[in-house]
């Protein structure tokens, strides 16, 4: 594999890592501000579940996004063959 064909894959992998980090920061900040995450997880379910429901559709969308962020980390593994990083 030539260096020209690896460069776009490395760039895509790098951008996916940057995007994953930014999305994680955004999602975590939103949940911390609106839901007192992660401290809320130490409270009883009777207190947590009503707060979770009160987040509404926006809150559910944020939780889905939070669950999908790790998929961006896989792009690096799918886009760049590991031998591209070996020293020659």
pLDDT attached to residue 44: 96
pLDDT attached to residue 81: 60
* Rounded mean pLDDT for each run of 10 residues along the chain, 88 residues in total: 65 87 95 93 94 94 93 74 56
- What is the pTM assigned to this prediction? 0.72
Question: Under DSSP, is residue 81 helix (H, G, I), strand (E, B) or coil?
Answer: coil
Residue spans of the domains in the chain: they are 3-79
Distance CA 52, CA 69 (A): 20
Distance CA 60, CA 37 (A): 14
In 3D space, the residue among 86, 36, 88, 26 whose CA is nearest the CA of residue 62 turns out to be 26
Backbone angles phi, psi at 68, to 5 degrees: -90, -20
pLDDT tens across 62-78, in order? 999 999 999 888 876 66
CA dist list (Å): 35 to 10, 21, 39, 63: 36, 20, 9, 11
């Amino acid at each position: 594999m030539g260096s020209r064909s690896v460069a776009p894959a490395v760039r895509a992998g790098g951008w996916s890592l940057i995007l994953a980090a930014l999305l994680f920061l955004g999602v975590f900040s939103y949940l911390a501000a609106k839901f007192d995450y992660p401290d809320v997880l130490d409270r009883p379910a009777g207190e947590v579940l009503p707060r979770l429901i009160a987040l509404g559709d926006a809150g559910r969308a944020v939780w889905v996004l939070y669950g999908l962020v790790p998929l961006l980390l896989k792009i690096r593994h799918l886009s760049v063959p590991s031998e591209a990083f070996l020293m020659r």
